[in-house]
Amino acid sequence: MTDTIMALDRSVRRIDADGHLHVERCVLSAAVVSPYYGREINGAERLGLDPDTIYWMYRDADALREAASSINGKPIIEIHQPVSAGDHPREITVGAVNNANFQAPDLIGELAIWDGDASKRIQDGSKRCVSAGYAYETVPETGEINGQPYTLKMVNIRFNHLALVEEPRVKTAIIGDSAPPNITKETSMAAHKPMSAAAKVAAALKSGRLAMDASEEDVKKCMDEDETEEEKKAREEKERAAADEEAKKKEDDERKAADEEAKRKEDEQKAKDEEERNKDDDKKAQDAAVDAKIKLALDNQRRELRAAQDAREAVRPLVGDVIGMDSAGDIYRYALKQTGHDAAGVHDSALPALVTMAINAKRPARPVRFAADSAIDSDSPLAGASARRKA
């Protein structure tokens, strides 16, 4: 499964007569492998874990299935904070969870949001994700889930609350949406995708094989390179369709010319002039299409450069300015390696989260007693700061 956050599905949300928001289906957690610092892990001292080392933990599917009922009726709060009847944070409680059930690999539930401001933040997307808070036990176990190895497993899970967050640790925990069940973490990204015409032009421009002022013939040759059988069939079909269209157009023009020739020679000359103008228009249209493809290729290249610049900004607190790299993934991996984290086997989409965790590692933090499926929030009680209370 990719890590891209998917758009909210409004079909599963409704507002009742009292203005309360109801989300009929929401991924609350998932049986996936996630990264945790040693200091975040319950039982770290007993297991001899290093506080500043990242460990990959598997949220056990059987444990989630058994724990599903424990989240029913639990409060939905605006920040992560352990709750109890004796210490209930009324100011940040905005709703409750109901009807939870495990549909591998996801824990699915219904949300009822009572607070109007919280409903607005969900509707406008500023807080579109959820993150479960729960108690659990840690057991050593080595395995692999969807291509991601792990060395620790969570068992005996007991849910405490559900928090509204901007960035979850479980990437599929999105209000009103869930990951399609047939997509795994990385395998879909490994599937071959035919290179588009714009991508071929972009690659040629970047490598220098195609000049900015290249002719139409040079661009077409570039687009035909490394053509797959599927692409070849599609191109040939398109060419046949274009040839048929051109033949039909030519036939119409000839018929029109013949009819006009029978009437007046002057009309015949007008038909020929019109045909020449059409040819000029066709060439202009072809030139415009080539220009559009080149522009798209340049835009893609600029997007890659922006991503690399964003990566440089993100890693600056760890390693300062990074020079000589133009790939965002390379920049993130370099910064992580310099701080003692080997990210060679980690997918590019997970690298920004690891860099954020490495930066946050420089800040003192007290031991975490509840696992939080969101990225570490600097103002969360779990990160050592006072909980922000809603006014």
Say what the pLDDT of residue 75 is: 95
pLDDT (tens digit, 9 = 90+) per residue, 103-161?
Answer: 999 999 999 999 999 888 888 888 878 889 899 999 999 999 999 999 999 999 999 99
Sign for the pseudo-dihedral over CA of 169, 170, 175, 179: positive
Burial of 182: CB neighbours in 10 Å, binned 0-12, 13-18, 19+? exposed
C-alpha distances out from residue 314 to 46, 87, 118, 158, Å: 34, 37, 29, 35
Cα separation, 200 vs 300, whole angstroms: 11
pTM over 0.85: no
Residue range 334-360: mean pLDDT, rounded: 86
Say what the pLDDT of residue 23 is: 92
Q: What are phi and psi of 204, to 5 degrees?
A: -65, -40
pLDDT at 299 over 80: yes
Contacts of 203 (CB under 8 A, 6+ apart): 195
Say what the pLDDT of residue 224 is: 62
Cα separation, 54 vs 357, whole angstroms: 9
Percent of the chain clearing pLDDT 90 (strictly above):
34
**SS3 assignment, position 73:** coil
pLDDT (tens digit, 9 = 90+) per residue, 170-206?
Answer: 554 445 332 333 333 333 333 334 455 555 555 555 4
How much of the chain is in helix, strand and coil states, percent to nearest 5?
45, 25, 35
pLDDT at 255 over 70: yes
Residue range 252-262: mean pLDDT, rounded: 90
pLDDT (tens digit, 9 = 90+) per residue, 213-225?
Answer: 556 666 666 666 5
136 vs 12, higher pLDDT = 136
Average pLDDT, the chain: 79
Contacts of 211 (CB under 8 A, 6+ apart): 218
207 vs 22, higher pLDDT = 22
Cα separation, 96 vs 111, whole angstroms: 6
Say what the pLDDT of residue 200 is: 59
Say what the pLDDT of residue 210 is: 56
Cα separation, 298 vs 285, whole angstroms: 20
Cα separation, 114 vs 378, whole angstroms: 26
